[in-house]
Amino acid sequence: MAVVEDKAIPPGELKATDRFGMTSKRAAGADERLASTGKLTQWLRRPEAGAAGGLLATIIIFALLPGAANLYSLQGSMTFLTLSAELGIVATAAALLIIAGEFDLSVGSMVGFAGVVIGLTVKYWGLPLWGGIACAFAVAILTGYLNGLIVVKTRLPSFIVTLATLYILRGLSIGITRAVTGRTQIPYILEGVPDPATAGIFNGHLLTGLFHWMGAQGWIGTRSDGIPFVAGIPMSIVWWLGPTALAGYVLTQTKYGNWIFATGGDLIAARNVGVPVDRVKISLFVYTACAATLLATIQVMEAGSADTTRGLLKEFEAIIAAVIGGVLLTGGYGTVYGVLFGALIFGLVQMGIFYTGIDTDWFKVFLGIVILMAVLVNNYIRLKALGRGGGK
C-alpha cells in the first residue's frame, strides 16, 4: 500500500484489512502484538534485581554452611555490615561516576593519602581533629576537581587519567610520610588532641542506650562488666546508608540525577540539549574523592593511626560492587540500591568464608565467579529492559 503519495489517503477510506488480508497499521489502533507485562517482569527489569537475587542466594548458601550461627549472630552481622559499609561508602560514589560514563581508579590511593593528610596535620602541625579532617577534604576536592578537569578538557579516557592519579597519590603518601616521620605509618593520632569528641562522629556507635538495655535484659551477649559485645550500630554503617539514600534520591528524583544518566547514556545528545556534561562529570569526580576521604577519616578514627597502604585495591572493589549491583560499565544505567546489595554481597562473602573455615585464599576465586555472573545477569537484564533480544 503506497502511503507516501502526494495526497494522503483520507482516513475514512481506510479499511482495517486490505484485499491481501493484511492489517493496516493505520486502522488497527492499539498494537495487538504488544504483550502486557506482569508485575514480576517489571520488577525483574529493575537494574538492582540481579544483585538482590544474588544477595538472597549468598545469604542462603552461607546459612547452609558450617559457621552460619557465628556469621549471622549479632556480632558476626555487625562485622560483615561494617566491611560492607567501608566498601559501600566508596562504591556508591564510584557507581554514580560510572553511570555518568567515567571511572575513578584513584579512590583507593585517595583513601591512603587522605589518612596521611589527617595524620600529618594533626600530629605534626598540631591542628585539632576537625582541622585535619577539613584539610583532607580540601585536598580531596582539589584532587577530584583536577581529575575531572583533565578528563573533560583533554577527553582522554578517565581510566588512564585516574590511573596516573592512583600512582601519584600513593607515591605522595609514602614519600611525604617517610620524609616527615621516617616511617610509613603515623600512629597515636588521637592522643592529646583538643577535640577527642570529633572522633566519635566517625568511630562511635548509634543507639548505644538501646543496645545496653538489650544487654541488661540478657537478649544480647555482654562482657563480664555488663557492656554488650556490640555497643551499638557503628557509625561507619550510618555513613554508608545515609549518603547512599541521599545519592539514590538525587539520582532518581532530581534534575541533576537525570543529567547523570544522560551524560553516561549519550554524551553528545546530552550536550546538544544543554546538559552541562562537564560540570556533571567534574562534580562526580569530586564526590568520589570525598567519599574516599570519608572512608579514610573513619579508618583513621577507628584505628587511631594512618597507614600509607590503606585503601589498596579499593578502586577495583568499588567497581566490582557497582557492577554486581547492576551498574553498566559503559554508563547510563544503574541504581545505588543495587550497589548497596553489591557491597553487602562483598562483605558477606568475605566474612562468610572466614567463619565457615574455608581457606580465605578461595575468596578471590569466588569473587571472580560472582563478577562474571553479575555481568552476565546485568547484560541480560538490560536487554530485557529494552524489550528485545539483541542490543546495540
Partner 1 sequence: MTERAQMSEPAQMTEPAMELRGVSVNFGSVRALQDIDIKVYPGEVHCLLGDNGAGKSTLIKVLSGVYRPSKGEILVDGKTVTFRSPRDAQELGVATVFQDLGMISLMSITRNFFLGREPTKSSLPFSRIDKERANTIARQAMADIGIDVRDPTQAVGTLSGGERQSVAIARAVHFGARVLILDEPTSALGVHQAAMVLKFIIEARMRGLAVIFISHNIHHAYPVGDTFTLLNRGRNRGTYAKSDISRDEVISIMSGGEDLKAVEAEIAGLLAQIGSRPPAAP
Q: Which residues bind partner 1 (CB under 8 A)?
A: 1-6, 8, 25-26, 30, 34, 249-250, 253-256, 258-259, 261-262, 265-266, 268-275, 328, 332-333, 382, 385-388, 391-392
Identity (one letter) of the amino acid at 278? D
We find the least distance from the C-beta atom of residue 388 to partner 1, in angstroms, to be: 7
Q: Left (φ > 0), alpha (ψ -120 to 50) or beta: where does 374 sit?
A: alpha
What is the largest distance, in Å, between two alpha-carbon atoms of the chain? 94
* Closer CB to partner 1, 70 or 258, in the complex: 258
**Nearer Cβ to partner 1 (83/284):** 284
Q: 253 or 360, CB closer to partner 1?
A: 253
Q: How far is the CB of 46 from partner 1 (least distance, A)?
A: 12
Q: Are 51 and 57 in contact (CB under 8 A)?
A: no
Minimum CB separation of residue 262 from partner 1 in Å reads 5
Q: Report the nearest approach of partner 1 to the CB of residue 54 (Å).
A: 21
Q: Is 97 helix (H, G, I), strand (E, B) or coil?
A: helix
Q: Which of 249, 362 has the CB closer to partner 1?
A: 249
- List the Cα angle 173/83/86 in 5-degree steps: 45
Residues 6+ apart with CB under 8 A from 198: 128, 129, 130, 133
> Read out DSSP for 203-246?
H-EE-HHHHHHHHHTTSS-B-TTS-BSS-SEEHHHHHHHHHHHH
Nearer to partner 1, 154 or 254 (CB): 254
C-alpha cell at 149: 578537569
Q: What's the min distance (Å) between Cβ of 264 and partner 1? A: 9
Facing residues of 205 across strands? 234
Q: Which is nearer to partner 1, 170 or 382 (CB)?
A: 382
- 300 closest CA partner among 136, 82, 76, 141: 136
Asked if 79 and 344 count as a contact pair (C-beta separation under 8 A), the reply is no
* Nearest distance from C-beta of residue 387 to partner 1, angstroms: 4
Nearer to partner 1 by Cβ, of 188 and 249: the residue is 249
CB of 198 to partner 1, least distance (A): 27
The burial class, CB within 10 Å (0-12 / 13-18 / 19+), for 199 is buried
Please name the residues in contact with 116: beta carbons below 8 A apart, sequence gap of 6 or more. Answer: 173, 176, 177, 186, 306, 308
Work out how close the CB of 17 gets to partner 1 at its nearest, in angstroms, rounded to a whole number.
15
Beta carbon nearer to partner 1, 34 or 365: 34
Q: What residues contact 197, with CB distance under 8 A and at least 6 apart?
A: none
